[in-house]
Amino acid sequence: MSNLVRLNKYLAECGVSARRKADELIAAGKVKLNGKIVRELGVKIDPNIDQVEYAGNLLGQEKKIYIMLNKPAGYITAVSDDRDSRLVTDLVKVPFKIFPVGRLDKDTTGLLLLTNDGELANRLMHPRYEHDKTYQINLQREITDAALERLARGVELEDGMTAPAQAKRLGEKKISLTIHEGRKRQVKRMIEVVHNKVVSLKRVEFAGLVLETLKVGEWRFLKEDEVKILTERSLS
């Protein structure tokens, strides 16, 4: 699925000019789309994929934005996809080329950061920094204390032992797990090792930020102090 907007609307959202004037700029050949002058009025673009240039500046790049989304199930953490899947970026309509920080499985819900700050995103995703990620997990079967302890100590996966984690009981079939690694399907695989199965998985914390009251599918800009937390964590 795409996130198409009319080019004149996009220029207006980026603060270039009002929409009508934006049409004049387009007709006058002052706007480039993916490196080529575009004169066609009514052309639509995807701010997450297309590059729009006006007066030598790439639009939507100057300002860094940081967004927290409560990801719904059924959306993939990518900015484009060949199979017409629903994308997390479809849910956040901003005139910026944003991308998700890290991955959540299609059926996972919860805290996902999106930004156009590539440098910060790369640092946050780098395994060296080992940011905590907390998941709330509904399980198919009751879980024993012994299984919780095993998850906390670390379990053997086909790509090696998992690092010590924090595992807490929230109910008979509900736990929270805090890990700092980010291997593919890590939580689901860890749960399989203790002979159980994830029914639903929700991330509630990432790198010191918490999801709190954001409803599923809703997003908000990070507050200044939250951006500061991320910046400090990705530098230390």
Distance (Å, rounded) from C-alpha 73 to C-alpha 118?
A: 25
Which H, E and C letters describe 79-128, residue by residue? CCCCCCCCEHHHHCCCCCCCEECCCCCCCCEEEEEEECCHHHHHHHHCHH
| CB nearer ligand URA, residue 95 or residue 110 | 110
107 is catalytic: no
* Min separation Cβ 133 and ligand URA, Å: 7
| CB nearer ligand URA, residue 113 or residue 187 | 187
- Residues forming a β-bridge with 205: 134, 210
* Min separation Cβ 43 and ligand URA, Å: 36
CB-based contact 176:167 (threshold 8 Å): yes
| CB nearer ligand URA, residue 14 or residue 165 | 165
Distance (Å, rounded) from C-alpha 176 to C-alpha 213?
A: 18
* Min separation Cβ 136 and ligand URA, Å: 12
- Residues forming a β-bridge with 44: 6
> Which residue ranges make up the site for ligand URA (CB under 6 A)?
104-105, 108, 185-188, 201
* Min separation Cβ 201 and ligand URA, Å: 6
Choose among 117, 69, 124: nearest CA to 93. Answer: 69
Q: Which DSSP state fits 129?
A: G
Dihedral pair phi/psi, residue 151, rounded to 5° = -60, -40
* Min separation Cβ 75 and ligand URA, Å: 12
CB-based contact 71:77 (threshold 8 Å): yes
| CB nearer ligand URA, residue 124 or residue 201 | 201
Query: Annotated catalytic residue: which of 23, 46, 90, 105?
Result: 105
Choose among 23, 4, 17, 1: nearest CA to 59. Answer: 17
Distance (Å, rounded) from C-alpha 187 to C-alpha 162?
A: 10
Residues noted as catalytic: 105
